[in-house]
Structure 1
């Protein structure tokens, strides 16, 4: 079954290039191309594609606004943002609205292929879980110990297994996995998951944890993993660990920015998105 794709970009050369890459690598079926944001959310609702490749800056209406409207209209497919924007606040807003992957301009075939393959894996997992729930067969979630073993391997690969707060991160990820087993398409707020984990600490261990401190611990862990991946990529861009985790857990544009400045005089900090990181790990474990 081919995934149905809509491309929204005002640059015809970008649309043609994306179409060529998608068709060449059999990554899906393009059912529509749009050159502006006008009526985009309405057409997304009508076509209900599996994937929307959408430009950040569009005539009539920008990509983030279209995503907001589409989700409000009930769309539950996957958005991939196409962008040459480097403003961290704008990119952060896109992540906040539900974008988990970016394709950066100028278009690179390797990046497009990698991003779409990861999105397709996510879709396949969601479909499998929906079939299981619908047919009432084997609805039990993965065994907790198996999930913990998988997480241990991932944390080890990322070089954070011995870091302070790793048990907090593990609890957050397992909570989200349980939530997704119940309803894979239901949206959630990360802060609600954090609060749930904190309340469980209080109930089970009698420990009061400050929300801000908890949030900062998780963010520091994610940034440590980001730094480690950047160092791996700087040494060997084709390292299996880098290939396995870089694109699915982090933004490649941010990774490249940090790697490109390792040898410079000015040290640049990259931006991370905690939800993208956690969603990527959930996908790997599932």
Structure 2
């Protein structure tokens, strides 16, 4: 996700930027100190997904800015302010602002709100992408990816094929998942997986060391492990959203039938399908992703393609 921060306080802008980057919530597309400095064209050029905007600013406040953006900005807007006026907050909501962060900035609140906004956008994007695909090909399933030829087959190429079936082309966590597949394939050459998969932490540690090189510090490895875990978790969630979307459109979709219950519990698929129908994210904790199971199934499905 790409964020644009609008606040006349540079300390607040810096704090929000740091939280977004530290938690790997997305990238900062830009920032401004007043609402008068942004418009629809700028946000479109910067490919902004989410705008965080202060309610009170000297030239053009948040309410007026949101009014200017309404109808032309397809992303989400998060209002930020220490003002607790119900009238002002009501105006913001009436203009389509669905999320609100209070000042002084609370790190946990920011993380919670931005994750909710991001998840909502991902749900909407997933539905739109699938509908576009279905309209383009005139079928009830996504366009098939090209399976690697016999001479091209490797654990990575086959894994990439499976991930594309799971709707993960272009996701940040795809590279991590392919690195994990490569590691597991090399690991299995001397450690039969019948004796058990390595622990997730061990896998992430190996991937982090490979990425950062021999000069990596313990702190650097720890930070990279945390970032990789978040990227993979988001990709797993996106895969669930993609499969649930296919099942919602056509329960007999071949990709849905082939992968859904292999990678995910049926109860989680049903919860995600209800989310998509209502366009409302479920309560936190209802879906608990089994990352290890996802990786194991991905590895086995990728190996099967190599045969």
TM-score with structure 2 length normalisation?
0.45
Larger radius of gyration: 2
TM-score with structure 1 length normalisation?
0.49
